[in-house]
Amino acid sequence: MSKKHEPVRTCIATRQLLPATKLLRVVVDPDDPTQIIPDPKRVMPGRGAWITPTLHACEQAESRHAFGRALRVSAKVDTSRVRKYIADMETTMSAGKTVSEKD
């Protein structure tokens, strides 16, 4: 029996090829083209970019101007919503690990 094909994407920060399920898709906010927003369900319209969901990767992508380049935005972009989403996700994951460690 053959394995099911899993899509592979390149992280805009680390340039690593990873399964799409391990990356966070981000898109340009249709209402404000300077805002980059997370698309965890991968259903929003428009050009998307993929990033490893860590604050370190987000900082790396910002310093390389990778968000604007990947999403083809020439203006300075605001990634605060992506940073907040990743920070909340990391907090939830670390809280989950803490809870399971106490059990």
Q: What is the pLDDT of residues 53-91, one digit of tens each?
A: 999 999 999 999 999 999 999 989 999 999 999 999 988
Name residue, tokens 């990743």.
Answer: 86
Give the class (CATH, top level) of 9-102.
alpha beta
| pLDDT tens readout for residues 4-16 | 888 999 999 999 9
pLDDT value for 90: 86
Instruction: For residues 103 and 22, give the distance between their C-alpha atoms in angstroms, rounded to a whole number.
Output: 27
98 pLDDT more than 70 = no
pLDDT mean over 40-56 = 96
pLDDT value for 92: 83
- φ, ψ at 32 (rounded to 5°): -145, 100
pLDDT mean over 21-49 = 96
97 pLDDT more than 60 = no
pLDDT value for 85: 97
